[in-house]
A and B are shown apart, each in its own frame.
Chain A
Amino acid sequence: MKTIVQKINNLTIGFQSQKGEQISILKNISTSINQGETVGIVGESGSGKSTLALAMMGYVKHGLFTISGECMFHSNNLLEMKNKELENIRGRKIAMIPQNAGQSLTPNLKIGYQIDEALRLHTDLNQAERDGKISELLNKVRLPSPETMAQRYPHELSGGQQQRVAVAMALAGSPELLLLDEPTTGLDVTTQAHVLELLNLIAKDTGTSMVYVSHDLGAIAQVSDRVIVMYSGEIVLDGPVRSILKNPIHPYTYGLLKSIPKLSLPGLPNSMSGSQPQPGSIKKGCSFYERCEFADDDCKVNSPSLDFIEDLNTSVRCFKHNELLNLNKLDSHNVKSIENRILKNEILDLSNVSISYAKQKFLDQLLNKINDTNPTVKDINININKGETLALVGESGSGKSTILKSIAGLLKTKDGNIKFEKNKTLSNDLKQRDPSFLRAIQLIFQNPDESLNPNHTVEEIVSQPLRLYFGLKGKELKDKIIEVLDKVRLGEFYLTRYPRQLSGGEKQRVAVARAFAAKPDIILCDEVTSALDVSVQAAVLNLLQELKEDFGTTYIFVSHDLAVVRAISDRVAVLYQGRLCEIGPSNYVYKFPSHPYTEVLLGAVLEPNPDIKPKLVAEDIVEEKPPENGCSFQGRCPRILGDICKNEVPPWQTVENGNSIRCHIKIEDLKNQQITN
């Protein structure tokens, strides 16, 4: 019999609405965490996963209160304990690593000092013992040379290293239970894979129980023994990781897994319609009813209970779980293959584009020239054909957004030029660009919260380009707005809504509508799905693809997510430190031979499958600046050849399928090396 560390019984947490109603955001949660077990809690934003994680350390956010139930840590109910008693548990027996913990280290205190402080607070060790413990902790989180590391300041560490320090601090009190809330969200793919591996090692080393909260099934799959799926404040599925991810017997989980783009499957994943209901809006019936493809009338009036299925060791909240049990396998699900009518017409041509953020000296400013021998982005040569989707991929800071901004005219190029439709050179200065070129190129941003004016209604937002470019007014304008909104599947009643009254997916649809209202030839998409929940992401990707088929638009699609890029793009350009590494048709870029950097990126992708482990081939160092000479990837390249990589810029080599790789290693050798290991 396993020891239970924490047991939650019938926990309901809610708030008082303005009308005085009690609205629950966690409903009747019952589960337990065993010793040494890692439990993943997954759900979309607003499903209550963070509220549950906080309750697990006896914390209920301001404005919320416990309606019923208890949260037992050994034999104490955390939710009834006094603050004084909780202080003795938090940090010592239960520790938490919040989102962005790495970035929130105190900037002006040395790493060693910060860990020492955690030790002083959470242990009874004396100074000498603590000094030893600091090294031990830094070792435990696999940071190189602990002594020198302890002397550094947070800004002298990379994002991944900062996150490791945060883990070390959480381990200071040797907790029995470690709660992690989105610990890798916001980190680069490679860094993320390294941090997850570290967590696995720690779980094995220390036997600490962990609760890992995330919206990312890929990350959950890599660390969890057991997975809890939450929807609308309820547990809908709870069982061993393999059973949940390989044979999900709840329609929500099933749909969620189908809507995740996967590296192994080209084409767009199926999307799930609708969005999660607002808390308190479901009075009876199953909370997933509106979005469920298996629903029948029974589900509308009766609420399913969480039933334990002995054979699978899984609890599920669905009347129809038997049907799902016999359903076809997930990996044979139908994805829509994309077929773009790519014309051989060149629509955009970047030649030798370099972009610098260097501050201009006064004299240079007068002469309007930029002096920078090592610009942020350098030597970009890309042709884009009409109707094509070109993806730019690379880690944070690789210059993806920078290139988009230059194409949009928001940033001056240092060298090179950008031509539109073969011979029309786009001016470097936005003010001098021809209005028709401005109309032809539209932007969609990552975060619709930032890209939509919070004080404008949907009608005003979509009317902007229509008025500016086509001078529409009155009824004509309104009709056109309705037509455009209809294209993005938003009804007329959205006209008077403000962005704050829309869900994430709806907001992004409005942003898409605004871009399409200009009748653009090219749309620049900057991480357009990364702020969205997985189930919504697939819907937005599908929408973009349909619109493209209708209008023949060309997309330049920036993303750090290789699986998303695989799903939507025709061609992929891989960037490292503002330099191109590889460019080619997506089917071929995702196959060997690849540029060593592409290989690293592909290896770090987290698939929502516990049996596909990421391959970590390079260190997760982050470089501040691109090297002055030689190959841009020399600092991290696992296949580096030596001086030639450091001194000479590698040549472009083209594989027969049209894929170009920029590396000193001969294509043949690259292929042999990559296929053998």
Chain B
Amino acid sequence: MIKKKEKQKNTFEKIYEVIKTMASKPSGLIGLIILIFHVILAITSPLYVPYDYKAIDPTLMLTPPSSEFWFGTDSLGRDVFTRTILGGRTALTVTFFGSLIALLWGGSLGIFCGLVGGKIDDIVMRIIDAFLSIPWILAMLLIVSLLGTTTLVLIPALGFFYGKGIVRVARAATHDVIAKDFIVSARARGHSNMSIIWNEILPNVRDAIMVEGAMRWSWMLLGFSSLSFLGFGVSPPTPDWGLMISNARGLMSFAYWAVLAPIFGLSSLIIGINLTADAFAKALGIDRSTKAPV
């Protein structure tokens, strides 16, 4: 018999517990620190940027790093440090909300498919598979060229494309619990489908879906930056890592600073999200099968 009394943990205590477990391993701790650093930077950077990010000064073109311009200046004479610490804001915002949308629609559709099964499930999964076979970047380019590159277009479009993987995970997790007797028991009691999803299924698939969502986030970030790199993400002069890399890459051989700073920003954020997602999965006891983008 288990003698130890365990208090019922409320949600906050549970979250605290999970974060504590995540931080107990060096890789999780590093990931969390990087991620939190980026988030704080994105929120607060406008308060302390040293220069105006769009101030062009031809006389200062491609100045190497100095005490005045820590990361040097770019080909238009803009301060690279300023643009780098601002450059993650759009990417983080767009991909964060994009991931939420992906989680929502992917999670709901996946649970729905797992629950109803049969023909409907088959048909929906076929359609998803068909979508999966289109190179996403082509589809994105099509959407963006039709509807423009505003955040209001990018967020739902990215959310849609990155939700497909979540549908699969949510469906598989639902399939695993759906055959269990506690679901049969709830059915036999006469609970509505909505109540079964909410009370019986969701608590058992939530963890798997959230881990997948966290993974998708880092993929989406890479995707978004690729779009910017190709000139379909944010429009100049808004500072953005993808765009900055794209603009500065031709000058790499003699102005390495202009390209290294945004690369460092982007890759550290992706690594940070990845390490965090990994630790998150471990803390929840989930085997992560999806590979990280880096």
List residues 206-250 of chain B with CB under 8 A from any CB of chain A.
none
Q: Are B185 and A443 in contact (CB under 8 A)?
A: yes
| Interface residue range, chain B | 20 to 34
Question: Which stretch from B3-11, B75-83, B262-270 is at the chain A interface?
Answer: B3-11
**Of the residues B2, B5, B190, B203, contact of A456 by C-beta under 8 Å:** B203
Chain A residues, CB < 8 A from B181 = 445-447, 450-451
Report the minimal beta-carbon distance from A450 to chain B, rounded to whole angstroms. 4
Closest B residue to A434 using CB positions: B190
Which residues of A have CB within 8 Å of B8?
A: 457, 459, 495-496
A257 to B33, CA, bound (A): 60
Closest to A503 in B: B1
Let me know if B182 is at the binding interface, CB within 8 A: yes
B1 and A435 contacting across the interface, CB-CB below 8 Å? no
Residue of chain B at shortest CB distance from A524: B188
Cα(A501)–Cα(B5), bound, Å: 10
Task: Specify which chain B residues have a CB less than 8 angstroms from the CB of A454 in the assembled complex.
Answer: 204
A326 at the interface (CB under 8 A from B): no
Q: Decide: B1 and A453 in contact? CB cutoff 8 A.
A: no
**What is the total number of residues of chain A having a CB less than 8 Å from a CB of chain B?**
44
Return the chain B residue nearest A457 by Cβ: B8
A160 to chain B, nearest CB (A): 27
Whether a CB of chain A sits under 8 angstroms from the CB of B186 is yes
Q: How far is the CA of A447 from the CA of B200 in the complex (A)?
A: 17
The A contact surface, by secondary structure, is loop
- Tell me the chain A residues, 435-492 only, with Cβ under 8 Å from chain B: 435, 438-439, 441-443, 445-447, 450-457, 459-460, 464-465, 468-469
In the complex where A464-B199, A468-B189, A468-B190 touch, is A496 in contact with B2 (Cβ < 8 A)?
no
| Closest B residue to A496 using CB positions | B8
- In-complex Cβ contact of B187 among A430, A495, A506 (8 A): A430
Interface residue? B184 (CB, 8 A): yes
Task: State whether the Cβ of A409 lies closer than 8 Å to any Cβ in chain B.
Answer: yes
B188 adjacent to A451 (CB under 8 Å): no
Neighbouring A residues of B185 by C-beta, 8 Å? 443, 445, 451, 514
Least CB distance, B49 to chain A, in whole angstroms: 46
Contact B204 A281 (CB under 8 A): no
CA distance A446 to B181 in the complex (A): 9
CB of A100 to closest CB in B, whole Å: 19
B191 at interface, CB cutoff 8 A: yes
B157-191 vs A, CB cutoff 8 Å, 1 = contact: the mask equals 00000000000000000000000111011111111
**A459 cross-chain contacts in B, Cβ below 8 A:** 8
Say whether B188 contacts A410, CB under 8 Å.
yes
The residue on B at minimum CB distance from A444 is: B185
Q: Which residues from B are CB-within-8-Å of A452?
A: 182
Q: How far is the CB of A296 from chain B (nearest CB, A)?
A: 22
Residue of B nearest to A276 (CB): B1
| Given A464-B199, A468-B190, A496 contacting B1 (CB threshold 8 A) | no
CB distance from A610 to the nearest CB of B (A): 33
B196 to A: closest C-beta gap in Å: 10
On whether the beta carbons of A501 and B189 are closer than 8 Å, the reply is: no
Q: Would B189 and A442 count as touching, CB distance under 8 A? A: yes
Docked-complex contact B188 and A409, CB < 8 angstroms: yes
With both chains docked as a complex, state the minimum distance between the C-beta of A465 and any C-beta of chain B, in angstroms. Answer: 6
Q: Is the CB of B203 within 8 A of A430?
A: no
Contact A438 B189, beta carbon cutoff 8 Å: yes
How far is it, in angstroms, between the C-alpha of A435 and the C-alpha of B8 when the chains are bound? Answer: 32
A204 at the interface (CB under 8 A from B): no
* Assembled-state Cα–Cα distance A497/B2 (Å): 10
Q: A454-B204, A496-B6, A496-B7 are in contact. Are A464 and B184 (CB under 8 A)?
A: no
Looking at the complex, which one of B1, B7, B180 makes contact with A277 (CB distance below 8 Å)? Answer: B1
Return the chain A residue nearest B1 by Cβ: A275
Min CB gap A443→B, angstroms: 5
Asked if A455 meets B204 with Cβ closer than 8 Å, knowing A438-B189, A443-B188, A464-B186, the reply is yes
Q: How far is the CA of A460 from the CA of B199 in the complex (A)?
A: 9
User: A264 on the interface (CB 8 Å rule)?
Assistant: no
Contact of A493 among B5, B184, B188, B191 (CB under 8 A): B5
Contact, CB under 8 Å: A501 / B2:
yes
State in angstroms the CA–CA spacing of A81 and B186 once bound together: 53
Contact B182 A450 (CB under 8 A): yes
Assuming the contacts A447-B181, A496-B7, A497-B6, asked whether A453 and B204 have C-beta atoms less than 8 A apart, the reply is yes
A430 contacts B2, C-beta separation under 8 Å: no
> Which residues of A lie under 8 Å from residue B191 when comparing CB positions?
464, 468
24 contacts between A and B (CB under 8 A): A275-B1, A410-B187, A410-B188, A430-B188, A430-B190, A435-B190, A439-B190, A441-B188, A445-B185, A447-B181, A456-B203, A457-B8, A460-B199, A464-B189, A468-B189, A493-B5, A496-B5, A496-B7, A496-B8, A497-B6, A501-B2, A503-B1, A506-B1, A514-B185
Query: What are the 5 closest A-B residue pairs judged by CB atoms, nearest first?
Result: A455-B203, A438-B190, A451-B181, A496-B8, A450-B181
Please give 20 more A-B residue pairs, beta carbons under 8 A apart, in addition to A410-B184, A443-B184, A518-B189.
Answer: A274-B1, A410-B187, A430-B187, A430-B188, A439-B189, A439-B190, A443-B188, A446-B181, A447-B181, A450-B182, A451-B181, A453-B182, A454-B204, A455-B203, A456-B199, A464-B189, A464-B199, A468-B189, A497-B2, A514-B185
